[in-house]
Structures are given as structure tokens and as C-alpha cells.
Amino acid sequence: MLLDSIPKALAPLNLEKVDPGDYSKTGCHLEVAATPAQMPAVAEALLQEGCFLESLTAVDTSKAAFTLVYHFANFSELCRTVVHASLAKDTEAPTISHVYPGANWYEREVYDLFGIKFAGHPNLKRLLLPEDATIHPLRKEFPAEAEVKAEAPK
Amino acid sequence: MEAKTGAPLIHLGLLEEALNLARANSLWPMTFGLACCAIEMMAAGAARFDLDRFGAGVFRPSPRQSDLMIVAGTISKKMAPAVVRLYEQMPAPKWVIAMGNCAISGGPFYYENQYAIVPGADLIIPVDVYVPGCPPRPEGLIEGILKLEEKITKRGRLRKFRDVAR
Amino acid sequence: MITSGIEEKTFVLNLGPQHPSTHGVLRVLLEMDGEYIASAEPVIGYGHRAHEHMAENRNYHQFLPNMGRVDYLHALAFNHGYCMAVEKLIGVTVPERAEFIRVITNELNRITSHLLWFGAYLMDLGAFTPFLYCFDDREHILDLLDRITGSRLTYCFYRFGGVPVDLDEDFIFGCRAFIKRLRSRWVDYHNLVTKNVIFIHRAKGVGIFSKEQCLLYGITGPSLRGSGIPYDIRKSEPYSAYPLFDFKIPTGANGDIFDRYLVRLEEMEQSCRIIEQALDKLPNGPIMAEKVPKRIKPAAGEVYQAVETARGEFGIYIVSQGDIKPYRIKLRVPSFANLSLMVESFKDNLVADVVAILGSIDVVIPEIDR
């Protein structure tokens, strides 16, 4: 039962919180809170349990911090784990792309839209916006005025 | 057409009318589907709505071989230079149909803080016919192509053959 | 005669963003060693329309039409996932008849998506006939769906708490007649394509995804089931009325293009089975829940809802802070993960196989770019 074996696998990492979640309300069976520095170890442990990385995103929670949100699920048994990691602004988070190669693009997208850098990422370039863009649009302080008319590009 | 591609150096009179008829009845569109409208463009080319009966069914992948660019979908700022380059690669005389609300004015994606799209194809290339809809029905696209044919031949749909023959 | 002393180098071939078979605006930089691919780097973002940013500037009702445009080929599944997520947040239960209507329209949409994949993919490989056949079949479904939803492609049909329009007798009769007709087409498709020697040579043994790769990259959908892992959200994490129906999950053995192709054809047949059972068991009753607030203002919290679309798992993650506008919406789209693995699989393949593998994943680029 993954609901038991995942908390057991995460126990040696001394995470802040490993609690069962309310599936009917939130869609997740396990709710975990960790620091970004612990994320590679968490990812290793979950890969050992046979989980795949469902989604990796960030939320601009407050003026001082982002929250990185990782969702993991499993092909053979229904057990969704959500991991929240609070990251202070202007700090780097370690990458998990050496554990889950699928995280490569997710982390690039988070860098593109939020400006969060991932230490150890092999190719941290912008993914969705043009390479020379200077904005990080999903930050809450993204300016309200945007250029309406595009100049004819050369 | 002359205003966009320059006045012709030589006026060929009746031959020009015949040439315009030929151009209108065998428009070769370029496969330029950007987003959702591309599927309705494909449906317009498929069996039920059949663009081929208007001579416009031969979709060419290369801009060098086509004379009609159907901008079907939202133009993002990243894609805009490619759109302009493709338009410039097409040989004259060439025409553009802006298909769908996104190509006309940004469509459902235009809002005050939008940072990612170009709100309208006519901001970067000259557009001849606008086909509204989100997405427009294939019949709408066919109506747009027929309107373009009227624009090319400068006469109504039904009269064009009778007048040229006179 | 090649004389000695000529240095052989790799060169970069640019595929896209305008290309007949990139299924949207995808650009792949192929570093080629002759005809073989040494490395491939995709450049995406040519269809970025800022859906997630729009979500922060719109209330829950206003964001509903966006969902039809993320993946326009299976728009109803995206509608479904979003509506279920918001219904979880506000605590509304959908009545049974509405669940059945949602399942029927969803499965019809899945069939149109697979049919379009079938036609477009074979056109990429050079076969023009299947395109016309399957677009014809697709038009019949679009007529049915047009009658009740009002749209042909970018549906915005479900509402929070149910569906706005009920099915009528003409729709039910037309649906049954169409399923009968579609079943007679399987023979044509198998004769035309599955047994075709050229297709078999291009598809068997090409573009193999191993189970290990699927786990590391988070692949879902027919690309995963072609590799032998029977993971389908409709069975693994059942939602809506799916637990009431009896259907199989087709899987492949080898994980090559041919297996993915067979999985999709078989899924269309299973969708037909689901629709038939749903029409047989369709209960009477209301189609909208009774107490749905006019202003959707969920309590603070988050929700993750996964649904199975034609391409794989669509997951929507909504963070609400008690406002009428969502604080953050993340759209986890299946083609994102599928494309990132696919580009790895290009290495050491011939450039002619690149197009074959690219089409077999069934990506929709605007959903990747959101």
C-alpha cells in the first residue's frame, strides 16, 4: 500500500510534514511539505516507490516567497502525493532533473514564467516566451500595462 | 491588389482580366495552421466541404509555390517574425485571408495585460479578407475564399464569366 | 568519387515552425550526421497564448471558454476536468443524468480526436485516402455534437453543476445510427492501413518507448499504453459516470509506432461501447445541480483534478484564496511530457523516421504552449 510505504520511505528525510490528504476535497492522498534543498532526496525516494512526476509548478505565494508544488502519482496504484516547498525569492532551488528527466522541461517553464533558477539544471533557458524576453509574467508584480501594438519585426 | 504589390508596369487589358480569372479560380493556399482554426481549414479541404471544387484545394507546404496565405490561428509574438518572413517569401501576386477571431483582432486572447500575442494579423502583414468566427465554420472559410475571388476579378461571382466572354 | 581529406561534420536542419507535419507550430533543430540524427532540440512557445495568466485575470465562469482552446481536439475533456475541479472546490454534486450526458459527449469527442489523428498522421506518412475517410466520419459526429453544444470544435458545453442543454430523441437516434456505421468502417480502416505493407515497414520497430522511459518522463495516454502499461485515469482514478460502464483498456506489447496506432483504433471501439451503454442506461432527472451559486467564490484551498483525454492525462491544479478569481491555475497537459521524451527518442534515427515518430505521439502544440 503506497499510502503506507511512501511515508515510510520519506521518514528518514525528516520532512516538515507528511500527512494524509482529503482526496475528495483536494484530489491528493498524501500531503508533504519539504524544503527545496530536500527535494532531490524526496524525488529519489518517490522514484524508488515507482511514482512518476505528474506536474511541477510554482505559485507566487507572498511578497517574500514562492511555493514550488510537485505532484507525483503511480501507474499501478492510485496514490497522489503533493509536495509543497517554500522558496524565498531570489534564491535558487536544486533541480530534480537528474532523478526525473521529465522535470527538465517543467523546471524550464517555471524559470520562464516565474524567474526561479534551478541549480544544476543542464539547460536552463526560456521555454515558452522568446529567448530574449525580459518578463516573468506569472509573478504577481508583473506590470499591468502591456504593449498592445507590436512593431513590425525585422 | 495593385496597392499592395505595386502598380503593374504594363497594362494588358483583356488579358489581365483573363489572368485575374485564372488566378482567382486556382488559388493555392499555404498550409499555415497555427492553432484551432487550422482544423476547420483542414475540414474545409476535406470531403464534405471540399475546397477543391473552387480550385483552392491544393495546399502547398512551401511559401514559394503558393499564392494565398490563410492565417488560421493566433499569432504569438514569438511566431510573428516567421509569419512576416513567410509572407515575404511568397511570390507576388499574393493574398492573405485572416481566418478566425485571433487573426483578425487577437480574438478571445486579447485582454489588457496580454503579453504573448499579436492582436491581429493586419498589424504585421496586409490582409485582404477577414473571416470571423471562433473557429469559423468551413462554410465561412469558403465564403471568404469566394469573396477573395470577387476581389481578384473585381466583379461579382455570377457575372464574371459572362462579362469576360463579351 | 569522394576523395580523402574531406572533413565530415554534422549540420543543423531546422524543422518548422511552419511545416506540414509538425501538428501546429513546433520547431525542432535537428543536428544531423548524414541521414542520422545526432541530437534534436525542440523549440516551443510559438503558440503561447498565456492561458495561465488569463486565469488570474478572469473569474471562474469567464475562464471556461479558455478550456476549449487549450486542446481543441478533445475540448470537452478539458471542460470536464475544469468543471469537476471547481465543483470540488465549491462542493457541488452533479446529477446523474448530467454525468451520463457528460460521458457521452466526452467519448464522442474522443472518437473525433482519434479519427483526426488517424487521418492527419497517415497524411504525414504520405497516404491521402484515410484523411478523407475519417474526416467524413468525423463530420457525422460533429453534426451530432453541433446540435446540442452549438460548436464544432472549441466546445464550451459543461457548466458548474451539470450541463445546460439536454439530449433529445434525434440525438440519441443519430448517435446509435452513427455507432453502427462507424463499426462497419473498422473493416475498411484495417484493410486500408493496418495491413498495408508500407505502413507496417514504417511503423514496426520504430520509435520504441521503454517502460523505464515512460516512468522517468511521466508519459500518459495511448503512448504509455502502447508500451504495455495499462494506466487510464478512467479506470485507475474513476470519475464521473465511468465506473458504471464496462470497457477494456487496450495495451500494446512493444511500444513502437504500430502499437500506439492499434491502441488508438481499439480505443475508438471501446468509446463506442461506452456510448452505447450510456445511452442504454441513461437515467431521467435534472441536468443541473440545484444550488449552484451565481458568483463562484470558493473557500481558500487547492485542488488537483485529473481526467483522461485522447492524448493522456490532463491535470488541472487550482489554488483559490477565497476570491472570485482563481489565484493560480496550472494546466498539466499530456503532450508536454510526451514531447519531451519523444525528442530523446529521435537520436540515432533516420530523418524519415522523425516525422513518423512525431506524429505517432499525437501532440497538439497549443496545449503544450498554453
In a domain, A115, yes or no: yes
Q: Taking residues C331-352, report their average pLDDT.
A: 86
CA distances (Å), A42 to each of A4, A38, A46, C290, C330, in order? Answer: 15, 6, 6, 44, 22
CA distance B84 to chain A (A): 8
Interface of C with A in 26-45 (CB under 8 A): 44-45
How far is the C-alpha of C364 from the C-alpha of C209, rounded, in Å? Answer: 19
In a domain, A72, yes or no: yes
In a domain, A17, yes or no: yes
Q: Domain holding A45: CATH number?
A: 3.30.460.80
Structure confidence at residue B2 (pLDDT)? 43
CA distance C180 to chain A (A): 34
**Interface residues from chain B to C (CB-CB < 8 Å):** 31-36, 38-40, 42-43, 46-48, 61, 63, 73-74, 76, 78-79, 82, 86, 108-109, 111-117, 134-135, 137
Minimum Cα–Cα distance from A104: chain C residue: C340
Structure confidence at residue C332 (pLDDT)? 93
How far is the C-alpha of A111 from the C-alpha of A109, rounded, in Å? Answer: 5
The number of C-beta contacts closer than 8 angstroms across A and B is 33
Minimum Cα–Cα distance from B118: chain A residue: A150
The mean pLDDT value of chain A amounts to 85
Q: Is A32:A81 a contact under the CB 8 Å cutoff?
A: yes
Asked if the Cβ–Cβ distance from C135 to B76 is below 8 Å, we say no
In a domain, A153, yes or no: no
Strands C312-320 and C328-332: antiparallel
In a domain, A154, yes or no: no
In a domain, A61, yes or no: yes
How far is the C-alpha of B33 from the C-alpha of C172, rounded, in Å? Answer: 34
Domain count, chain A: 1
Asked if the Cβ–Cβ distance from B118 to A150 is below 8 Å, we say yes
Which of chain A's residues have a Cβ under 8 Å away from the Cβ of B77?
130, 150
Residue-wise pLDDT tens digits, A39-87: 899 899 889 888 999 999 999 888 888 999 999 999 888 889 999 999 9
The subunits that touch chain C, with at least 3 C-beta pairs less than 8 Å apart, are: A, B
Residue-wise pLDDT tens digits, C47-77: 899 899 888 888 899 999 989 899 899 999 9
pLDDT band at residue B95, thresholds of 50, 70 and 90?
very high
SS3 A17: strand
Which of chain A's residues have a Cβ under 8 Å away from the Cβ of B84?
152-153
In a domain, A67, yes or no: yes
- Domain hosting A115: range is 2-147
In a domain, A111, yes or no: yes
Higher pLDDT, B8 or B155: B155
Residue-wise pLDDT tens digits, A5-26: 888 888 888 888 888 888 888 8
- Give A10's Cβ-side CA count (13 Å radius): 26
Q: Is A20:A4 a contact under the CB 8 Å cutoff?
A: no
ipTM of the shown complex = 0.89
**Cell numbers given for C108:** 464522442
